[in-house]
Amino acid sequence: MKKRGIGYGSMFYGLGYGFSRTDIASATLEISQDGSIIARSGEVDYGQGSDTVFCQIIAEELGVDYSAIKLITADTDVTPDSGPTSASRLTFVGGNAFIKTSRSLKKILNGVAEDILGASDLVFREGMVFSRSAPEKSISFKKLAGRAYARGVPAVVTEWYNNTTQDVDPETGQGDAYATYCWATQMAEVEVDTETGRVEVLRIVAVTDVGKALNPLNCEAQIEGGVVQGLGYALEEEIKEEGGYVKTGTLGEYMIPTSLDIPTIEVHLLEVTEPKGPYGAKGVGEPALIPTPPAVLNAVRDALGLRIHKLPANLENVYHLINGAEAGN
Amino acid sequence: MQSYEYYAPRSLPDALEYLAENAKNCRIIAGGTDLIPALRNEDIHPAFLLNIMEIAEVGGISETEQTVRIGAITTFNDLAESGLIRKEFPILSEMALSVGGPQTRNRGTIGGNIASAAPAADGLPVFLSLDAEVELSSRRGKRNLPLNEAIAKAWTPAWGNDELITAIRIKKLPSGTRTAFYKLARRQAMARSRMTISLILRRDPAGIIEELRFVPGSVMPVPRRMEEIEKLLTGKVPTDELLDQAARAVGEEMVKVTGIRWSTGYKKPVLGNLFRIVLSQLITAG
Ligand SMILES: Cc1cc2nc3c(=O)[nH]c(=O)nc-3n(C[C@H](O)[C@H](O)[C@H](O)COP(=O)(O)OP(=O)(O)OC[C@H]3O[C@@H](n4cnc5c(N)ncnc54)[C@H](O)[C@@H]3O)c2cc1C
């Protein structure tokens, strides 16, 4: 028989390292005489899109085209220390570092531009620098860079952002341990085949407070990826070991979902501005994955009236749950 | 890295000559989806590799009035795309589409599936349910061997090492015959079968089962027809009670072959359940 159920999983997650642990990121910008920008960061983009967001931030701050920026990341020969790529902290900590660096560089360029244009209400936008009150007083960003170079002003700027927080009270464990918290809830709808133990996830609805979606498509993709990882965690992934040897050492044996196993994933981005975040943004990485397993397992419980305590909720474990026997392996 | 002599002839006689000359240390390679991993893992150390993918006589799908001949190097995708196969043996089309992923189906062949004789093979049990014959060729000549005599034990064919499968032959099914393949796996693609069900069913107008062929896959070292179950149901109207009885017997039959293993607690009841579910669907479908 096939039984359906719906379950929810909710989480909050402290972003960054918290508890007074060092949480810093540095970022470097270098401007060439042709106006191209070389950015350096120690943060690693392993698919989550941090490179994209960093370039967006620099482009936004300096009013230049995204394509004017060359970003070099995660090369210890040339990139500054930006702390580890973890804790869903890249946009928040690394992004704030790039805002600071961009603003420092802009201040230098602004000084040169004020001098050249004879105006002090300058705007950097779409590759131009101009006076807000007298827009005809203008110079292209590229030209400005060349003029700044000719004057010998600093062309390399490094700033860092310190996200280290207070510790909690050692006596009571109370306090504000993290710079900010991410929130997410997911709903899962499943169908359980009671005669085989197979759990099919029919639908996931994910609602995530992202603070501000600096790149909505990135946020959605990140959340979809997290959901898929969570589905694998709940239903498939298992390290088997025998006599000290891992028996599931390849992706043929260690099961993660394929594209055919992925249900409809409905993503809703909630934008609740975080004052400390870059333009109000928070992290998305881990919050995307955390609610999925509990949502799926609660849905299994809703379908069967039984709670599974042995993961993954695979064929054998679910079948034995239904039939009251302990799984053999 | 291993080194071996590699030969890819276009003519069958050339291939058979090469095979006969080097029989002891020669491996046939078709799609390579089983063989290449075995080479990489150093499970086998051949001195000669004979690629049969360039030989026309070993490919193609053709029919006579009575039978369909499927060349050994027919890939799973060839099989899935064949209108003739879909018409005569939809069970084969379904099986083909369940194998691995698109890349596996583009490379993997039916000859390789049978010759590998893996306990978890998906093609082998379906061909067994169709009472297929393998056409074996060697320098000595050609012979047809019923598939159920062609596998000695798990991973081991029963034919000579100078022979290769040139084709699979299957008799067309009498009209009114229905077939079903079901694969239970841990995920929807790129997954070894946990269990499969291959069923061939024909009933008379009164609903009495005239013929039933049933092969479970991935549960025994070498898949075979479960004749005890076929007998239990043939000549009868499949009532719910009878199906339940048969489902229980399926598990018992499995255990007779496999003994009790860690997976028995799951496989024994679930194999019976799957048998009942798939057979019931075939019955209600017509
Ligand atoms: C990622 C992946 C997923 C897979 N998924 C599945 C699956 O879902 N279901 C499944 O059943 N299998 C699966 N397989 C296994 C494999 O794809 C099949 O067994 C396939 O049918 C093997 O055919 P091949 O042409 O690649 O054989 P090869 O690797 O070329 O050969 C296999 C064996 O058969 C012998 N051989 C080949 N052709 C002949 C012949 N004509 N005559 C005599 N001997 C011959 C070879 O010498 C070798 O010993 C998978 C493999 C991979 C790598």
* Bridge partner list, B217: B196
A153 and A228, same domain (yes or no): no
**Rounded (to 5) percent helix, strand, coil in chain B:** 40, 25, 35
CATH number of B41's domain: 3.30.43.10
- Model pLDDT for residues A222-253, shown as the tens digit of each residue: 999 999 999 999 999 999 999 999 999 999 89
Contacts of A320 in chain B (CB under 8 A): 265-266
B42 and B122, same domain (yes or no): no
Q: How many CA atoms lie within 13 A of B234 on its CB side?
A: 14
SS (H, E, C) A190-243: EEEECCCCEEEEEEEEEEEECCCCCCHHHHHHHHHHHHHHHHHHHHCCCCCEEC
Which residue shows structure tokens 């105006």? A119
In a domain? residue B56: no
Ligand 1 near B282 CB (within 6 A): no
B14 and B73, same domain (yes or no): no
In a domain? residue A173: no
Domain that holds residue B126: 61-171
Examine the fold and report which residue of A108, A129, A162 is the final residue of a domain before the chain moves on: A162
CB B115 within 8 A of CB B52: no
In a domain? residue A39: yes
Which element (helix H / strand E) includes B90? Answer: helix B90-98
A226 and A140, same domain (yes or no): no
Chain A contact for B177, CB < 8 A? no
A140 and A184, same domain (yes or no): no
Examine the fold and report which residue of A115, A135, A162 is the final residue of a domain before the chain moves on: A162
B147 and B166, same domain (yes or no): yes
Q: Does the pLDDT value for residue A326 go beyond 60?
A: no
Smallest CA-to-CA distance from B185 within A235, A324, A239, A298 is with A235
The answer for A47, left when phi > 0, alpha when psi is -120 to 50, beta otherwise, is left
d(CA A302, CA A306): 8
Nearest by CB to A258, which of B189, B194, B273? Answer: B189
- Asked casually if ipTM beats, i.e. exceeds, 0.85, the reply is yes
Determine the distance separating the centroid of ligand 1 and the alpha carbon of A54, expressed in angstroms. 47
> Considering A159, A220, A236, A286, which one is annotated as catalytic?
A286
pLDDT, one tens digit for every residue, chain B (286 residues): 789 999 999 999 999 999 999 999 999 999 999 999 999 999 999 999 999 999 999 999 999 999 999 999 999 999 999 999 999 999 999 999 999 999 999 999 999 999 999 999 999 999 999 999 999 999 999 999 999 999 999 999 999 999 999 999 999 999 999 999 999 999 999 999 999 999 999 999 999 999 999 999 999 999 999 999 999 999 999 999 999 999 999 999 999 999 999 899 999 999 999 999 999 999 998 6
How many domains is chain A partitioned into structurally? 2
B42 and B65, same domain (yes or no): no
d(CA A229, CA A187): 15
- Model pLDDT for residues A275-298, shown as the tens digit of each residue: 999 999 999 999 999 999 999 999
Ligand 1 near B34 CB (within 6 A): yes
Examine the fold and report which residue of B150, B171, B192 is the final residue of a domain before the chain moves on: B171
A150 and A88, same domain (yes or no): yes
Examine the fold and report which residue of A162, A190, A208 is the final residue of a domain before the chain moves on: A162
CATH number of A59's domain: 3.30.365.10
Which residue shows structure tokens 């799609």? B31
- Model pLDDT for residues A9-40, shown as the tens digit of each residue: 999 999 999 999 999 999 999 999 999 999 99
B167 and B183, same domain (yes or no): no
Name, in order, each residue with C-beta under 8 angstroms of A173's C-beta and a sequence gap of 6 or more: none
Residue of A233, A261, A262, A318 to mutate for B, most B C-beta atoms under 10 A: A261
In a domain? residue B280: yes
- Model pLDDT for residues B49-64, shown as the tens digit of each residue: 999 999 999 999 999 9
CATH number of B122's domain: 3.30.465.10
CB B50 within 8 A of CB B19: yes
B137 and B164, same domain (yes or no): yes
In a domain? residue A171: no
- Model pLDDT for residues A124-164, shown as the tens digit of each residue: 999 999 999 999 999 999 999 999 999 999 889 999 999 99
Predicted local confidence at residue A327, as pLDDT: 44
A109 and A70, same domain (yes or no): yes
A91 and A201, same domain (yes or no): no
Domain that holds residue A273: 2-15+179-326
CATH number of B249's domain: 3.30.390.50
| Residue A286: active-site member | yes
Nearest by CB to A258, which of B187, B266, B270? Answer: B187
How many domains is chain B partitioned into structurally? 3
CA distance B180 to chain A (A): 18
- Model pLDDT for residues B207-229, shown as the tens digit of each residue: 999 999 999 999 999 999 999 99
